[in-house]
């Protein structure tokens, strides 16, 4: 009998978020999604750092993805150089 590969452990535990924020400075938005974490709400604020910049973002759109969890779109409201 072949052994099964171990299930990868997330560095964030069950509160795992997937951040989609390529080219954040140009697009001025990011997407966050998760299957198990507490859902974010429209109006929630978050902070992200990328390429020597720190961005303050606000959640503008929420999508319930059913069994796949949820996703939000965030827009930059402030940017600061580190």
CATH topology of domain 18-81: Ribosomal Protein L25; Chain P (2.40.240)
57, 73 contact by CB (below 8 A): no
2 pLDDT tier (thresholds 50, 70, 90): low
In this prediction, residue 36 carries a pLDDT of 83
The residue with greater pLDDT, 77 or 18, is: 77
Is a pLDDT exceeding 60 seen at residue 21?
Answer: yes
pTM of the model: 0.76
In this prediction, residue 20 carries a pLDDT of 86
In this prediction, residue 35 carries a pLDDT of 87
Domains of the chain: which residue ranges? 18-81
The residue with greater pLDDT, 48 or 42, is: 42
Beta strands in 1-82 (DSSP E): 18-20, 29-34, 45-50, 53-64, 70-81
Is a pLDDT exceeding 60 seen at residue 77?
Answer: yes
Is a pLDDT exceeding 60 seen at residue 8?
Answer: no
Helices in the chain by DSSP H: which ranges? 24-27
Angle, CA of 35, 41 and 43, to the nearest 5°: 145
């Amino acid at each position: 009998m072949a052994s099964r590969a171990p299930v990868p452990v997330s560095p964030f535990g069950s509160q795992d978020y997937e951040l989609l924020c390529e080219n954040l400075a140009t697009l001025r938005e990011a997407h966050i999604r998760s299957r198990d974490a507490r859902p974010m709400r429209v109006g929630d604020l978050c902070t992200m750092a990328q390429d020597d910049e720190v961005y303050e973002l606000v959640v503008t759109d929420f999508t319930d993805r059913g069994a796949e969890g949820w996703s939000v779109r965030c827009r930059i409201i402030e940017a600061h150089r580190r």
